[in-house]
Structure 1
Amino acid sequence: MTEVEQKLTAINRDIEQLLQGLGQEGLLDDQFAQLMQLQDDSNPDFVAEVVELYFEDSAGKLEKLDAKLAAPVPDFNEVDQLVHQFKGSSASFGAQGLASLCVQLRDGCMRGDRQGCQQLLQEVKRNFNTLKGRLEIFMQLETQRKLLLVGGQ
């Protein structure tokens, strides 16, 4: 086995272990694996683009949720709509843990439970930041893998 093949094997193993860990922690599900299968030679950056779009979009929604729940009298219908959008994008992305927390957050909106919603939002943000940090490692490994595949070191 060449040095490049050894490096590729190690990177692929690291990616697999990282994704398995995310699955075991309930941060990602099989939907993310399905997204990865959509990446091919004609669209080699598909997963990276989806990950970046998800995190950009999600960060904006989380900021809006923070602001809406900090209002003197939160509009729980608006909060619920934002949470519903975030739940949908999280489920489509494979972030089932976040989608599940969003269901709980929506329940809090239905009850008009401001404090409960604020606490759940903090949990959502912690979960999101953990997922983001781990997927940033994934993205670095993917970049290394691509460089090796095109003959770089």
Structure 2
Amino acid sequence: MEQQVANINQQIDHLLNGLGNEGLLDDQFAQLMQLQDESNPDFVAEVVELYFEDSAGKLDKLEGKLAAPTPDFNDIDQLVHQFKGSSASFGAQKLAALCVQLRDGCMKSDRQLCQALLQEVKKNFAVLKSKLEIFMQLETQRKQLMRSMQ
């Protein structure tokens, strides 16, 4: 069983290193992982779930606001600013960088640019989400093995 835990840890490290190499996650996520311990074993899973729920809602709102006949770019910019902040805090550096570009598009009131950037944001979000879902599955397996070893 210890070998299985070691294999899962190796898979998690490989997955997270890959996300770092792709620029999807930075050291901020590693710092979040260090906050997890025996007293709060589900901390990272909870943060990941909250980030994805919150982000999906913001992306849906952004899409709706950009589709309006006359988009309120100040309103859109505020929402993008919130998403950028949560992404940066989470460690999703590529998403945060795309939000900076999207905010520039809002400043120019360029709907076409904003819509193109929003699609790029959504694509990167989907990639990050799918890979972190694998991470969550591995974390669950690791915890189950650890419990059965006690």
Identify the residue that residue 130 of structure 1 maps to in structure 2.
Answer: 127
Q: How many residue pairs align between the two structures?
A: 149
Question: What is residue 58 of structure 1 aligned with on the other side?
Answer: 55
After superposition, the C-alpha distances for 1:27-83 in whole angstroms (9 at most, x for unaligned) are: 000000000000000000000000000000000000000000000110000000000
Q: Residue 120 of structure 1 aligns to which amino acid in structure 2?
A: L
Match of 2:69 in 1: 72
Question: What is the CA–CA distance in structure 1 between the aligned matches of 2:106 and 2:116, rounded to whole Å?
Answer: 12
Identity %: 77
Q: 5+ unaligned residues in a row in structure 2: which ranges?
A: none
RMSD: 0.6
Could you say which residue in structure 2 is the equivalent of 1:18? 15
Q: Which residue of the other structure, out of 141, 144, 148, is the alignment partner of 1:147?
A: 144
Distance 1:35 1:92 in 2: 9
Distance (Å, rounded) in 1 between the aligned partners of 2:9 and 2:95: 26
State the AA in 1 paired with 2:63: D
Q: Does 1:39 align with 2:36?
A: yes
TM (normalized to structure 1)? 0.97
Structure 2 CA distance for aligned equivalents of residues 129 and 82 of structure 1: 19
